[in-house]
Amino acid sequence: MLVLGIESSSMVASVAIISDEKIICEYTINNKKTHSQTILPMIDEMIKMSEIDKKDIDAIAVSGGPGSFTGLRIGGALAKGLGFALNIPLIHVKTLEGMAFQLYGTKELIVPIMDAKRNQVYTGIYENENEFKVIKEQTPQDIEELIQELNQTGRKVTFLGDGIFCYKDIIEEKCKVEYTFAPSHCNMPRAASVAALGLKMYNEGNYQNASEFLPDYLRVSQAERERNERLKHGNN
Amino acid sequence: MSKDTLILAIESSCDETAAAVVKNGREVLSNVISSQIALHTLYGGVVPEIASRKHMEAINQVIEQALKEAKVTLDDIDAIGVTYGPGLVGALLVGLTAAKAIAYATDKPLVGVHHIEGHISANFIENKELEPPFMCLVVSGGHTHLVKVKDYGEYEILGRTRDDAAGEAFDKVARAVGLGYPGGPKIDKEAKNGNKHAIEFPRANIEGAPYDFSFSGLKSAVLNYINQCEMKNIEINRPDLVASFQNAVVESLVTRAIKAAKEFGMDKIAIAGGVASNTALREEISKRCKENNIEFYHPSPILCTDNAAMIGAAAYYEYIKGTRHGLDLNAIPNLKLGER
């Protein structure tokens, strides 16, 4: 079983191919370039170098959101096109779960935080000591509110994701439980982790047809939000 | 030609998700369009983020439907044609990324197409005898261009709008008089009951650029007229007002197209783009062409609106010329016609 993983929800462009036993290849660029220009050539390069026939890929695991709306669509549309043309299923991996899944064997709470602007983060709370568990589903949340919630658990926390850079000061100031920031080799979204969780989900029967796949933005567009506000106040 | 060439074409530059299968550039085997217009009407215009999201929902279904209706499979396709600009970048990226993925997965050539090149090429589909050179007037919600089509894929832009596109002016005026979005078809219909000579609106001429257009002055004149009527408490005759406005737009478009055809010695004029469906424009340009012994060509309304059949027609001529794009092709929101 070969799974292609695609992760383009943030500035990180990452692709990987894994089998049941191992990561066969992974290619990650975390250095500001448009995913539209890089991600498919990255897949092509990876497939050539590892001498895999793309027709042998059995499923595609995609980081399905939240994240950059455009980034999610580039990864999603790519997976939809590949899935359709290769006639293989897609696995929708929640972005925050894909990030948390790479930390294994820890007793701590795993808390990925992605910058969602306006003092908000996209976050979720996970455990992965022996078995991956979702303690809190991914959601947009005010960073201070999240810290309060973590303080109440009384448990030690590992933070990861780009939010640890922009909200470091707030965390240092407000976080009362013991915490660490994951080191750089396991603090960003990575396609191998998306593919590995995707493979697990696939084996649990959790996959879909390419035409059914849609990103989960976790936020409506600004225009919808403003319209909903207007409707709520009764002046359309 | 020994073998037929089939292009699978994809278009998602604005608010229609479209796919088509086109044979030898002129024969449409399928032309599937999923329109989002009803949704954007709620917002009085196209909302880019919503458009991009809807493209994601529709893209695979539209492509699958296009292949099914054409009774072909991906194996039968020779190349993938796709719009990569101009347009809304987020919207373009959905169709372009899917097209690149399909081209890559099937090892088929990718041919990027300019959206306006597509509109112009829509004329090849129903007019089998039409060949370059000809003069083309491209008018839509986002574009107003007077283009000399020198050969397949070879264009010279003689004139363009300095401000609003013609279709944009229609939308703005329609909103101002309470007709709503989309303005073009609504004004077209309302104007049929009005006198187009009732109000004399200004026609802008741009010094040193005889083929350029400008519609913002006209739009302001219409808005001023409405304001003055309101201030003086005069009831506005809406059909007369929109007919007069429409006539001013049509006049500027047609006059320049005829003048350019004559100056460059061309005996064919084609129109393209969403506004090419406007009945007043069609009638006037057809009449003036006849008076000047110019052959007039136009696509039917379904090929004037954004669609992928026109992209397939354009992609075919690019394909046989050898145009190929790489997997790194990006969406270019302000792509210039004739640029590679």
The interface predicted TM-score (ipTM) is 0.96
Say if the Cβ atoms of A40 and B328 lie within 8 Å: yes
State which residues form the domain around B170. Answer: 132-299
Those of residues 42-101 in B touching chain A at CB distance below 8 A are: 42-43, 47, 49-50, 52-53, 56-57, 59-61, 63-64, 74, 89-90, 93-101
Q: Tell which of B10, B41, B53 to mutate to test the A interface (max A CBs under 10 Å).
A: B53
Give the CATH number, domain containing residue B315.
3.30.420.40
CA atoms of B143 and B235, how far apart (whole Å): 33
Q: A173: distance to nearest CA of chain B, Å?
A: 36
Domain assignment of residue A231, yes or no: no
Does residue A203 belong to any structural domain of this protein?
A: yes
Distance of residue B75 Cα from the nearest chain A Cα, in angstroms = 10
Question: Quick one: A90 and A15 in the same domain?
Answer: yes
**CB pair distance less than 8 Å for B98 and A69:** no
DSSP label at A87?
T
Q: Specify whether B118 is located in the same domain as B247.
A: no
Residues of chain A numbered 57-96 and touching chain B (CB < 8 Å): 69-70, 73-74, 76-82, 84-86
Q: Do B35 and B150 fall within a single domain?
A: no
If asked whether residues A110 and A68 sit together in one domain, one would say no
Residue A138: which residues within 8 A CB-CB, separation 6 or more? A66, A94, A95, A96, A97, A122, A123, A124, A218
Same structural domain, B107 and B138: no
- Of A32-41, B32-41, B179-188, B319-328, which has the strongest mean pLDDT? B319-328
Structural domain includes residue B330: no
Let me know if residue B177 belongs to a domain: yes
> Residue B105 and residue A221: Cβ atoms within 8 Å?
no
Task: Please state the domain count of chain A.
Answer: 2
Domain termination site, one of A186, A210, A231? A186
A8 and A83 in a single domain? The answer is yes
CA distance B221 to A29: 54
Q: How far apart are the C-alpha atoms of A174 and B249, rounded to whole Å?
A: 63
Question: Residues B14, B152: one domain?
Answer: no
Same domain? B65 vs B209: no
Residue B295 to residues A103, A148, A155, B281, B305, Cα–Cα distance (Å): 71, 75, 80, 15, 22
Domains in chain B, number = 2
- Within-domain flag for A124: yes
Same domain? B136 vs B117: no
- Asked if residue A230 belongs to a domain, the reply is no
Mutation pick from B54, B100, B108, B110 vs chain A, by most beta carbons of A within 10 Å, is B100
Interchain CB contact of B102 with A (< 8 Å): yes
Hey, are the CB atoms on A40 and B104 less than 8 Å from each other?
Answer: yes
User: Tell me, what amino acid is at B96?
Assistant: L
Least reliable range by pLDDT among A19-23, B182-186, B269-273, B276-280: B182-186
CB contact under 8 A, A223 and B49: yes
What does the pLDDT read at residue B203?
A: 87
Q: Which of A211, A214, A220, A230 to mutate to test the interface with B (most CBs of B within 10 A)?
A: A211
The answer to whether residue A29 is domain-embedded is yes
Residues in a beta bridge with A5: A16, A61
Measured between CA atoms, the residue of chain A closest to residue B49 is A221
Examine residue A90 and state whether it is found in any structural domain, yes or no. yes
A85–B101: do the CB atoms touch at under 8 Å? yes
What residue in A sits closest to B329 (Cα-Cα)? A37
- CB-closest option in A44, A215, A221 to B49: A221
**Quick one: A17 and A47 in the same domain?**
yes
Residues B158, B285 within the same domain: yes
In the predicted model, is pLDDT for residue B65 greater than 80? yes
The partner residues of B28 in beta bridges, in order of sequence, read B22
pLDDT at position B181 = 83
Across-strand partners of B272?
Answer: B138
User: Which helix H or strand E contains A88, and what residues bound it?
Assistant: none
Query: Are A89 and A125 contained in the same domain?
Result: no
Q: What are the chain A neighbours of B327 within 8 Å (beta carbons)?
A: 40-41, 44
Considering only CB atoms, which chain A residues are within 8 Å of B52? Answer: 69-70, 73
B182 preceded by cis ω (within 30°)? yes
Range of the domain at A160: 103-186
Residues A119 and A132 in one domain: yes
Q: Is residue A109 a part of any domain in this protein?
A: yes
Query: B240 with B268, same domain?
Result: yes
Q: State percent of chain B over pLDDT 70.
A: 99
Say if residue A31 is in the same domain as residue A67. yes
Most B CBs within 10 Å, among A35, A36, A78, A230, to test the B interface: A36
Determine the pLDDT at residue A2. Answer: 98
DSSP state of B313: H
Give Cα B202 distance to the centre of its chain: 25
- Tokens 């994601």 correspond to B56
For residues A140 and A156, state if they share a domain: yes
The verdict on a CB contact (< 8 Å) between A73 and B56 is yes
Peptide bond into B202 cis (omega under 30): no
Report yes or no on A233 lying in a domain: no
Is residue B315 within 8 A of residue B7, CB to CB? The reply is yes
Residues B218 and B277 in one domain: yes
Paired with B17 in beta bridges are B34
Has residue B245 been placed in a domain? Answer: yes
Residues A88 and A201 in one domain: yes
| DSSP H stretches of helix in chain A | 35-49, 69-86, 95-100, 143-153, 163-166, 168-174, 191-203, 222-232
Residues A41, A68, single domain; the answer is yes
Residue B68 lies inside a defined structural domain of this protein: yes
| Assigned domain for B334 exists | no
What pLDDT score does B42 carry?
A: 87
Separation CA A167–CA A144 (nearest Å): 10
Among A86, A211, A222, the residue with its CB nearest the CB of B60 is A211
Q: Please tell me the predicted confidence (pLDDT) of residue A235.
A: 59
Asked, for residue B198, whether it belongs to a domain, the answer is: yes
B143 and B110 in a single domain? The answer is: no
Residue whose entry in the numeric block shows the structure tokens 């005898």: B129
* CB-CB under 8 Å, A84 with B60: yes
Closest residue of chain A to B325, computed from CA coordinates: A37
In a domain, B78, yes or no: yes
Residues B111, B56: one domain? yes
For testing the chain B interface, which of A84, A86, A212, A222 should be mutated: the one with the most B CBs within 10 Å?
A: A84
Q: How many CB pairs under 8 A join A and B?
A: 101
Same domain, A43 and A146: no
Question: Please, where are the H alpha helices in chain B?
Answer: 37-41, 48-69, 89-106, 115-126, 166-176, 183-191, 216-231, 238-263, 279-291, 301-304, 309-321
**Chain A residues 93-132 with a CB less than 8 Å from chain B:** none
Tell me the per-residue pLDDT of B196-243, one tens digit each, with 9 for 90 and over. Answer: 999 999 888 898 999 999 999 999 999 999 999 999 999 999 999 999
Domain CATH code at residue A207: 3.30.420.40
pLDDT value at B141 more than 90: no
Judge whether B134 and B270 are in contact, CB under 8 Å. yes
Sheet holding B144-151, edge to edge: B154-160, B144-151, B134-139, B268-272, B295-297
Q: List the one residue out of B64, B80, B122, B87 whose CA is nearest residue B16.
A: B87
Find, among A119, A124, A74, the residue nearest to A98 by Cα. A124
Residues A18 and A81 grouped into a single domain: yes
Does residue B328 sit within a domain?
no
Q: Are residues B240 and B142 in the same domain?
A: yes
**How would you write the pLDDT of chain A (236 residues) with one tens digit per residue?**
999 999 999 999 999 999 999 999 999 999 877 899 999 999 999 999 999 999 999 999 999 999 999 999 999 999 999 999 999 999 999 999 999 999 999 999 999 999 999 899 999 999 999 999 999 999 999 999 999 999 999 999 999 999 999 999 999 999 999 999 999 999 999 999 999 999 999 999 999 999 999 999 999 999 999 999 998 887 54
